[in-house]
Amino acid sequence: MKIVIVGSGYVGLVTGACFSEVGINVTCVDIDKKKIDNLNNGIIPIYEPGLENMITRNMDKGRLSFTTNIKEALKDAEVLFISVGTPPDEDGSADLKYVVAVARDCGKHMNDYMLIVTKSTVPVGTSKKVKQAVQEELDKRNANIEFDVASNPEFLKEGAAINDFLKPDRIVVGLDSQRAEDLMKSLYKPFTLNGHPVIFMDIVSAEMTKYAANAMLATKISFINDIANLCEIVGADINKVRKGIGSDSRIGTKFIYPGIGYGGSCFPKDVQALIRTASENNYDLKVLQAVEAVNKLQKLVLFNKINNYFDGDLKGKTIGVWGLSFKPQTDDMREAPSLSIINNLLEAGAVVKAYDPVAIPEAKHHFGDTISYFEDQYEALIDADCLAILTEWPEFKIPSFKIMTKLLNKPTIFDGRNIYDREEMKKEGFEYYCIGVNT
Ligand code: NAD
Ligand code: UGA
């Protein structure tokens, strides 16, 4: 089978690599010529563990190729996946212009039956718009070609994307034709052999499932952050409370880690878009509005702790920062909490010395030379008045506390990810401030 994937970003590249890995012939398309040239030269535009090896291996086998030419790519293909971005519009709704542009391109160039699958995260009703755009283009050409549309939202997490795609908790497919169902069943067969289920449903329910999943996960995070803030006030320890509630299997241990607010390219925009969909339908999603409001405040919590520590005068203070990406194992900085925290520090007159294992090139796009960057985590601490931990990279978990004490002007840590034990930090001689524990 030959398939085409349009949009070669985080989702498109992982989807393309994983389908080619199981022997499917995949062409990935993008309008970004530089990105495609780089990919054809083995240069992968994102940091995602395991992706580079998988892409080069399948390119060498001749099963995976990259092009800007959608017309060529569509020849002999039966399935087209749309995996372009759906960024937030000014009013918070998902901007569908890239999705619709791909649908139009498809209608312009397809010559035979095609199943057009939306993998991008799109609001309820988008598949109808895709269908309409394809049909309009076919009509312009007087072409009488059959096609189906389907919704196949993606649930991968950055940093664990390959594993999530190869061993999914579930695959959700919304469709309305038997031909589409047969095609999707055979495409996903290699991934379902070990018991990973495909859940078939109608298109609207599949579109809603994606937003409901992200909204539920974001809700867990804002809930635990809200409780963490209360723990600080009443003298409870969120780390203990988290374990205490997580061992109830109805609640579960995952996604209840307190921190500095959820970031990334998905939760913030998808929560906003779902609130927007609701209001367009005259419904008030009150819980999600609160989730969003809590998250906005949570992004300020660590800055406020640092600011209070220095009695509201950060002018000339030097802050060492470990971690810039929105989570570990990725260089993605979209909506990263580090953006708001560092911008607040800079506005207050502080000097920022930053280290991240992979996100420094990305961070330079955001901060330019307003902060300094270091190749070594300890160098970022030289002459710093404190350390702020903004991403829980594994290499920060067992550092040399001795070196840190020597380098910092005063051994003080503001940990936005609760990666250390408070008692141990006391023994090591640190003043240690984290989230949800009164110090
Ligand atoms: P991305 O920004 O990394 O990539 C999108 C790509 O689409 C870009 O390379 C862009 O050049 C290309 N593009 C735009 N218009 C095009 C066109 N007309 N023709 C061809 N290419 C075009 O985006 P992403 O992070 O991969 O996200 C894509 C979608 O998947 C979004 O809707 C997102 O919400 C959803 N999603 C993302 C993740 C994630 O972890 N990043 C996970 C699940 C779902
Ligand atoms: C998230 C979902 O987990 C994926 O299932 C989904 O496919 C994806 O969005 C999407 O739709 O694009 P991702 O944004 O890559 O994936 O990363 P997560 O691991 O979910 O983390 C998101 C944010 O929540 C991060 O800032 C992380 O630090 C924060 N988080 C996560 C917490 O603060 N606490 C937790 O317990 C878990």
Tens-place pLDDT, residues 129-152: 999 999 999 999 999 999 999 999
Average pLDDT over residues 4-28: 98
User: Has 386 been annotated as catalytic?
Assistant: no
pLDDT above 90 for 31: yes
Q: Do domains 2-201 and 234-433 have the same CATH topology?
A: yes
Residue-level pLDDT at 195: 86
Write out the E strands in 211-295. Answer: none
| Centroid of chain to Cα 44 | 17
Judge whether residue 100 has pLDDT over 90. Answer: yes
Is 210 annotated to bind a ligand? Reply is yes
Q: Is the pLDDT of residue 438 over 90?
A: no
Given this model, what pLDDT does residue 27 score? Answer: 98
Q: Could you read off the pLDDT of 254-297 as tens digits, one per residue?
A: 999 999 999 999 999 999 999 999 999 999 999 999 999 999 99
DSSP character for 121? -
Q: Is 158 annotated as contributing to ligand binding? A: yes
Could you identify the atom of ligand 1 that is nearest to the CA of residue 105?
18
Which has the closest alpha carbon to 4: 92, 49, 97, 68?
Answer: 68
Q: How many Å apart are CA 241 and CA 252, to the nearest integer?
A: 13
**Structural domain spans, the chain:** 2-201, 234-433
Measure 100 CA to ligand 1 centroid, in angstroms.
13
pLDDT at site 385: 98
Q: 20 pLDDT exceeds 90?
A: yes
Read off the pLDDT of residues 191-228 as tens digits, 9 standing for 90 and up: 998 888 999 999 999 999 999 999 999 999 999 999 99
Where are the alpha helices (H) located in 32-96, listed in sequence order? Answer: 33-40, 51-60, 70-74
Ligand 2 site residues (CB inside 6 A) read 121, 154-158, 214, 217, 221, 255-257, 259, 262-264, 266-267, 326-327
In sequence order, which residues have a C-beta less than 8 Å from that of residue 142 and are 6 or more positions away?
Answer: none
Sheet with 431-433, strands from edge to edge, namely: 372-374, 351-355, 318-322, 386-389, 412-415, 431-433
| Ligand 2 center to 157 CA (angstroms) | 6
3-state secondary structure of 425: helix
Flag whether 35 is marked binding. Answer: yes
Mean pLDDT over each residue of the chain, to the nearest integer: 97
With contact defined as beta carbons under 8 Å apart, do 309 and 302 qualify? Answer: no
Nearest residue (by CA) to ligand 2, atom 9, is: 266
**Residue 430: pLDDT over 90:** yes
Query: Residue 352's CB: how many other CB atoms inside 10 A?
Result: 23
Predicted local distance difference test score (pLDDT) of residue 95: 96
The three-class DSSP label of residue 217 is helix
Q: How far is CA 61 from CA 2, 25, 54, 74, 80, in A?
A: 15, 10, 11, 20, 21
Architecture per CATH, 2-201: 3-Layer(aba) Sandwich (3.40)
Residue 65 has pLDDT above 90, yes or no: yes
Task: Please give the structure tokens belonging to residue 300.
Answer: 């300020």
Report d(CA 278, CA 293) in Å as an integer.
17
Selecting among 18, 266, 386, 434, the annotated active-site residue is 266
Ligand 1 atom 12: the closest Cα is on which residue? 7
**322-381 pLDDT, tens digit each:** 999 999 999 999 999 999 999 999 999 999 999 999 999 999 999 999 999 999 999 999
* CA gap 169, 192 in Å, rounded: 10
* Tokens (6 digits) for 11: 């989702």
Q: Report, as an integer, the average pLDDT of 119-135.
A: 97
Cα separation of 302 and 339, whole Å? 12
What does DSSP assign to residue 394?
Answer: G
> Could you give the residue ranges of the DSSP H alpha helices within 281-398?
286-309, 337-347, 360-367
Dump the DSSP string for 158-199: TTSHHHHHHS-S-EEEEES-HHHHHHHHHHHHHHHTTSPPEE
pLDDT reading at 83 higher than 90: yes
d(CA 7, ligand 1 centre) in Å: 6
Nearest CA to ligand 1 atom 44: 154
The predicted structure's pLDDT at residue 199: 97
Q: What is the CATH number of domain 234-433?
A: 3.40.50.720
| 13 ligand 1 Cβ < 6 A | no
| Mean pLDDT, residues 104-125 | 97
Q: Whole-angstrom Cα distance, residue 267 to residue 264?
A: 7
Q: Is the pLDDT of residue 439 over 90?
A: no
Q: Please state the rounded mean pLDDT for residues 416-429.
A: 96
State the Cα–Cα distance between residues 31 and 17, nearest whole angstrom.
18
